[in-house]
Amino acid sequence: MERSRRKTLVGKVIKKVLDKTATVLVERDVLHPLYKKRVKKSKKYLVHDPNNEVREGYIVEIMSTRPISKRKKWRISKILQKPQVLEGNVQDENGISEEGGDK
């Protein structure tokens, strides 16, 4: 299949634990058939990240590809947005900020 015809989705990286693999959450709005209210549906995809360049919180575009493993059939095509880091209130892994106060 040509690359221009492959399916693409946009989602947020929610987990980056495995090597060269990220979990991307794709949300979409659907109209409820009876009540006509917009309902948010979400699905998680395991995606291939060959250069280990994404982190949690990134907004990425994923593209369908050949099966890489049992559950990995998507790969990252673009990084659309990186999360913004708030300066001034940086906390370490124990939850204590650098100013000396608690959470």
Classify residue 89: in a domain, yes or no.
no
Between CA 57 and CA 24 the distance in angstroms is 10
Residue 100: predicted pLDDT:
52
Residue 5: predicted pLDDT:
85
> What tokens were used for 17?
């634990």
Residue 22: predicted pLDDT:
97
Classify residue 98: in a domain, yes or no.
no
Classify residue 14: in a domain, yes or no.
yes
Between CA 39 and CA 54 the distance in angstroms is 29
Concatenated DSSP letters of 39-103: EEEEEEEEEE-TT----TT-EEEEEE-S--SSSEEEEEEEEEEPPPPPSS--B-TTS-BTTS---
Residue 82: predicted pLDDT:
92
> What tokens were used for 12?
């947020």
Domain total for the chain?
1
Can you give the residue range of the structural domain that contains 19?
3-81
Predicted TM-score (pTM) of the model is 0.76
CATH value at residue 41: 2.40.50.140
